[in-house]
Amino acid sequence: MIKNLNIAAIISILIFALSGCSMEEQNTTNQTREESNISSTSSDSVAPVLEKITAEKAKEMMDSDQPIILDVRTTEEYEEGHIEGAILIPDNEISAKAEELLTDKNATILVYCRSGRRSAHAAQDLSDLGYTKIYDFGGIIDWPYDVVAGK
């Protein structure tokens, strides 16, 4: 009988100890999540707009506003066909040339490349440089509208 009580007491102590550890870990995890949410909320309020949009939305913005259209492909790709009015700054030259060619950091900038990979990278680079309204509409391969060839 005493042996059974000792075993029951040991099991109770172990359960209590383990549940205490679990609660502490859960509280720490919840606190970390809350802190993360607070910091992302406060940084979101000052963060620039960096948004992925469709080709259709980009065309709508081009027709209603005067955005800067930024092609981040190579010179050869640009000359094969680009959106009329687009400025060429290859993605690997964004950091070096953006501030020289894109002087208004509050202008609306629509970024595209061939398939969407380089435009995403370039859009992030522009955001890092302090540009505030950047819209990445992916690749020209998904552009259903007219393009022009040449420089």
Q: Which residues are catalytic?
A: 113
Decide if 118 contacts 94 (C-beta within 8 A): no
Number of H helices, E strands in the chain: 5, 5
CB of 138 closer than 8 Å to CB of 145: no
How far is 55 from 142, CA to CA, in rounded Å? 7
Cβ atoms of 85 and 58 closer than 8 Å: no
Q: In terms of Cα–Cα distance, which of 134, 138, 136, 119 is closest to 47?
A: 134
Is residue 112 within 8 Å of 139, Cβ to Cβ?
yes
Amino acid code (one letter) for 130: G
The helix/strand/coil state of 19 is helix
The residue type at 32: T
